[in-house]
Amino acid sequence: MPCTADSRIGALLEIEIDASKQNKKMNYREFFEKGISYVKYMQEFELAVAEKRTSGPNQDEMYVRYTMLNLHRSNRLYKHTEILAELSSVIDAYTKKLNVLILSEFWCGDAAQNLPVIAKALSISENIEIRILFRDENLELMDQFLTNGGRSIPKVILLDGDFNVVGSWGPRPALAQEEMARLKAENSDFEVIIEGIQKWYNNDKSLSLQKEMLEWFK
């Protein structure tokens, strides 16, 4: 599902956030150290599905249902996605320390489409470490990386070895973002947007994401 707000209506809107919350001095090392690994994230994902719940405060049946679907999607993508040879080579040759901090939630469809590919690709290098935080437990951090004024996830924050921000990405590849904008401009129903973005991801097969990831290492 579109991953901006924590409600059915809000997911279709760009929620305006007070600009005064941005540009604060943040301790990114502290956020990174309290994050969990992708393996731990998936273990908690499995547990949530087994207990018929999701992450975050909204335990609406729709969110729980999307969480179950996203777990299956995440496992499938991690297992079957082939990493582009060019991206694999670039990551394998990367010698600097890169700390990758990701904001996510189990119910988020964009996270389920992108996190498995990101995690699989970055696992190629021992110099790259991933940590994941839940957005709704870390809104102060989220508000530093808004998308068009909204708390859209997943949000990838790239940190160097000293935990300085060197880049960010998200919540979806640029072409998917264009498709989302088109569907919203047409005042499409919620389900139409869900189906449209899902179709885009199915057709793209993570190629856009992987090509954009190449820019992280330039």
Which range among 17-26, 28-37, 158-167 shows the weakest confidence by mean pLDDT? 17-26
The ranges assigned to domains in the chain are 17-171
Alpha-carbon distance of 82 to 107, in angstroms, equals 24
pTM check: above 0.75: yes
Domain 17-171 fold is: Glutaredoxin (3.40.30)
Beta bridge partners of 130: 100
Beta bridge partners of 48: none
Place of tokens 């990386």: 145
pLDDT digits (tens, 9 = 90+) for 134-155: 999 999 999 999 999 999 999 9
Q: How many CB atoms lie within 10 A of CB 177?
A: 18
pLDDT digits (tens, 9 = 90+) for 30-49: 999 999 999 999 999 999 99
9 pLDDT more than 50? no
